Structure 1
């Protein structure tokens, strides 16, 4: 667990200083089994990394993960109102079946203003289940 948390901290610190003019995101929402929150920091023109947290509706379990996403916007020729991405995550689950976890996710966003959008993400593995929520551009 210490190695996973150290890796997440290093990724966050590196991402704070990388590509500062690119967009940073705060994602909040609900999934079928609970709530999620995550930050994304750019480390390249099409790559973001950041921490994420997931919990069930009863707050009995908690997943802390480091996520990385690759954005296909340029490849698909999408306008700046849309994002489409896929990525992977690794983290630690605390609660009933605690332990290391990993997973993959795909998702997209539509921005209705310069600061706000709606996101939808679908995932598999032992960490990310996906969900629907809002995105704030930081």
Structure 2
């Protein structure tokens, strides 16, 4: 057990020591993926961020989540475009830490399995425009790999918040 602890400590120390500035430079690319926790189920997501200016990225995200409410299974697929501002030059942060905030716009497509031709069913979940405000951080363990977390508030059928956790690979 001690050997495993020592090996893990050495790995983290080497990874932390070799990490570069984590915020994206112009033209840099980050791939993100993971899962989350929301009032409407557990989303699984994948996304990309591209540096377009100093401290500014734009990108996109796709996600899928499902939930059962009152015996009805709901599924939600979303496509979002985002823009984020990275704070590495505004605040004195460690070089391994990338803190950001931004806005996402996109489309949510909701579906359900309700099947009763005798009852008119109005879903509380409607497909349409999605707006999300987010703030998050990435901690780079190496030049390319990071763990990420993001808090967000979204508005589609109502206003709700959530948390996403995942990994990032930076090119």
Larger Rg: 2
Which band: TM-score by shorter chain?
A: 0.7 to 0.9
Match runs of 1:31-110 below 5 Å: 31-32=36-37, 33-57=42-66, 60-96=75-111, 97-110=126-139
Q: TM-score, normalised by structure 1?
A: 0.79
Unpaired stretches in structure 2, ≥5 consecutive residues:
1-24, 68-73, 112-125
More helix by share: 1
Q: TM-score, normalised by structure 2?
A: 0.64
Match runs of 1:106-121 below 5 Å: 106-121=135-150
User: Does the C-alpha gap of structure 1 residues 53 and 71 become closer, same or farther in structure 2, counting only changes over 3 Å?
Assistant: same
Q: Which whole-Å deviations, capped at 9, do the CAs of 1:3-34 have from their partners, x for residues lacking one?
A: xxxxxxxxxxxxxxx933xx311110110122
- After TM superposition, where is structure 1 displaced by more than 2 Å over at least 4 residues in a row? 57-60, 126-130
User: How many pairs are equivalent?
Assistant: 119
Over aligned residue pairs, what C-alpha RMSD do you find?
2.0
